[in-house]
Amino acid sequence: MTISVGQNAPHTYLYIMGDAGPETVATRSMFKDKKVALFGLPGAFTPTCSAKHLPGFINNAEALAAKGIDTIVCISVNDPFVMAAWAKDQGAGDAVMVAGDGDAEFTKACGLEVDLTGKGFGLRCKRFSMVVNNGVVETLNLEVDGGYEVTSAEHMLNNL
């Protein structure tokens, strides 16, 4: 079942690349006392994700912060090495925390997984965006049929 507005975000772990290698980030601490713009996508280095989704949040980071967003986090069912390489390629810098959900632990706990087995992708994350305010899902946007509209940074910005 898909997570819904008003529910607590699941307490799982995501993985980012630190100076000494992969680091574990507990979602509980990531969301505590913060308003987080969180978005998920099918994969690093994929066309829409690289051309629109991540760049939109990078380009709108300051505007989102001005509307009360403390942190922007991008997740995908990829390992932290791939996510770090993609963040560097995209110029994410400090604007967006790019985290791997390699085991799809967070994705599955939210009911946001999509099985693309047979297409060469395996288990992936549906394209979504949400605002998590002190651990509680405040808004949730899901794309239908692989589109890209309601999960964009621009849509989030216009609806904060």
Q: Which residues are catalytic?
A: 49
Tokens of 101: 């959900």
Euclidean distance between CA atoms 74 and 54, whole angstroms:
7
Question: Which residue is associated with the tokens 């979602």?
Answer: 27
